Amino acid sequence: MRYFIEIAYKGKNYHGWQIQPDAITVQEVLEKTMTTILRKEIKVTGAGRTDAGVHAKQLFAHFDFEEIKELRELRFKLNSLLPKDISVQDIFRVKEDAHTRFNALEREYEYKITFKKDPFSEDFAHLIHYIPNIDLMNNAAKELLNYKDFQCFSRTNTEVKTYNCKIEKAFWKNENSQLVFTISADRFLRNMVRAIVGTLLDVGFEKTSLEDFHEIIKSKNRSKAGTSAPAKGLYLTKVLYSENIKY
């Protein structure tokens, strides 16, 4: 039987989601904890990967196991044993062929920027000392919806079959004294959101014009785009699925 597990985590103490040979990751901690409780080796498959230091308010993974009658009890046990910076939000049974990665319809990220030194947001937002032109940044962000090939924002030496992504929305807004960038798409390339944020900040500080922004995307060259924004400001906030995946 197949189950989806919904989790949230702070990324500061982890080298991303995906298991690494020489660094602690969220996937490794989750699998070890599930294996301990279910007394059988458990392997989970995530909806995607987050880089070191990136946070997730919602990420799904799936695993196969025999019938679990008390899913709420399992969630309680997992949350009791998992470290404080990883939380299980839900566990539910799905159809046998449901896949957290391939069946995801849309993924949404947020990037948070703060303009003042704040010890309570130190690990969860990118501090900058000057306010950029948000209108210019939103004008450029809107143009992302007119493109599909985003190789210029992808980490180099990434093995993917295509650099095409369908961006559904991309915008900035002031929210509780922070500048928040929201972007959603059917898929994202490695480092894509942080590279977009860094490039849009260049637009906001008038280092890069809107015309330059178009040329950067058309170039398909990562070196033409801006510096990637720090990982600590990035959050995976939502992964959407069709209701018919549930059992």
Domain-by-domain residue ranges, the chain? 2-102, 106-237
| Mean pLDDT to the nearest integer, 120-127 | 92
Percent residues over pLDDT 70 in the chain: 100
What's the mean pLDDT when you consider all of the chain?
95
User: Whole-angstrom Cα distance, residue 177 to residue 155?
Assistant: 31
Q: Considering only the top CATH level, what class is 2-102?
A: alpha beta
The pTM assigned to this predicted structure is 0.94
User: Whole-angstrom Cα distance, residue 170 to residue 140?
Assistant: 9
pLDDT of residue 176: 79
List CB contacts of 201: < 8 A, sequence separation 6 or more: 128, 132, 137, 226, 229
| Mean pLDDT to the nearest integer, 128-149 | 96
Three-class SS of 101-147: CCCCCEEEEEEEEECCCCCCCCCCCEECCCCCCHHHHHHHHHHHHHC
DSSP SS3 for 217 = helix
User: Whole-angstrom Cα distance, residue 175 to residue 148?
Assistant: 29
Q: How far is CA 91 from CA 5, 163, 190, 246, in A?
A: 4, 32, 27, 11
* 177 vs 109, more confident: 109
Q: Torsion over CA of 10, 173, 176 and 89, rounded to 10 degrees?
A: -30
Residue indicated by tokens 């702070």 = 10
User: Whole-angstrom Cα distance, residue 95 to residue 1?
Assistant: 8
Q: What are 202's two structure tokens?
A: 């260049």
Q: What angle do CA 140, 169, 92 make, to 5 degrees?
A: 150
- DSSP class of residue 231? G
Q: What are 144's two structure tokens?
A: 């992302």
Residue 166, CB-side half-sphere exposure with 13 Å CA sphere: 3
Q: What are 203's two structure tokens?
A: 């637009």
Residue indicated by tokens 């391939």 = 102
pLDDT of residue 144: 97
pLDDT of residue 1: 97
- Could you report the per-residue pLDDT of 30-84, keeping only the tens digit for each? 999 999 999 999 999 999 989 999 999 999 999 999 999 999 999 999 999 999 9
- Could you report the per-residue pLDDT of 153-163, keeping only the tens digit for each? 998 877 788 99
pLDDT of residue 168: 97
Q: What are 49's two structure tokens?
A: 């990967």
* 2-102 and 106-237: identical CATH topology: yes
Question: Which option is the CATH number for 106-237: 3.30.70.330, 2.30.110.10, 3.20.20.140, 3.30.70.660?
Answer: 3.30.70.660
In which band, very low, low, confident or very high, does the pLDDT at 102 lie, cut at 50, 70 and 90? very high
pLDDT of residue 159: 79
Query: Which residues are identified as catalytic?
Result: 51
| Mean pLDDT to the nearest integer, 108-133 | 93
CB atoms within 10 A of CB 188: 22
